[in-house]
Amino acid sequence: MIRWLVVLNLLYLAGIGLLFVASLLAGDALFDALGVRQGPHRPQMVLGMRTMMVVGMLAAGVADRVLRQLLAIVDTVRAGDPFVGDNARRLEIIAWWVLAGEVLRLAIGAIAWAASSPAQSLDVDIGFSLAPWLAVLLLFVLARVFAEGTRMRSDLEGTV
């Protein structure tokens, strides 16, 4: 399943990349199709939408890093030994990437706010949610638990 998610994420990245290129090559037609009205606010909206595309591509990179770390953890489970030091590091890396993803999500909201005008708003429905921040905290704690468990197991093996 995770391998399929990696592929879907790469397709997402390609789609946003194509949309960005289309916005540069056929910008007027694309933004007309996306509903950006003509007027003095249009350049601000176009810049905001292009910036959001770039942030979306960065977010796909973040998701790729998380998925690949998770895949490495699953591989150790399949091998029969998930409680290894590498998995503790992987969980910490995932926590940092999830944190980065949440910052990018908030950046999208800020970009949408900055690109909006009284004539037309860029509505992306970015609301604050405590869940991602709690997930980051949980991942850091879980990484520490894995590291401590690995250390304790190593100590135990050394005394037997």
Contact at 8 Å (CB) between 71 and 3? yes
Q: What is the pTM of this model?
A: 0.87
To the nearest whole number, what is the mean pLDDT of the chain? 93
Per residue in 80-110, pLDDT tens? 888 888 999 999 999 999 999 999 999 999 9
Looking at the chain, how many residues does it have?
160
DSSP class of residue 120?
A: -
Domain locations in the chain as residue ranges: 2-159
Per residue in 122-132, pLDDT tens? 888 888 889 99
The pair of three-digit structure tokens given for residue 68, joined into one six-digit string: 């690949």
- Rounded Cα distance, 102 and 137, in Å: 12
Contact at 8 Å (CB) between 81 and 150? no
Nearest to 4 by CA among 48, 70, 50: 70
Nearest to 115 by CA among 123, 125, 127: 123
Contact at 8 Å (CB) between 44 and 98? no
State what percent of residues in the chain have pLDDT above 70.
98
The pair of three-digit structure tokens given for residue 75, joined into one six-digit string: 């591989």
- 114: helix, strand or coil: helix
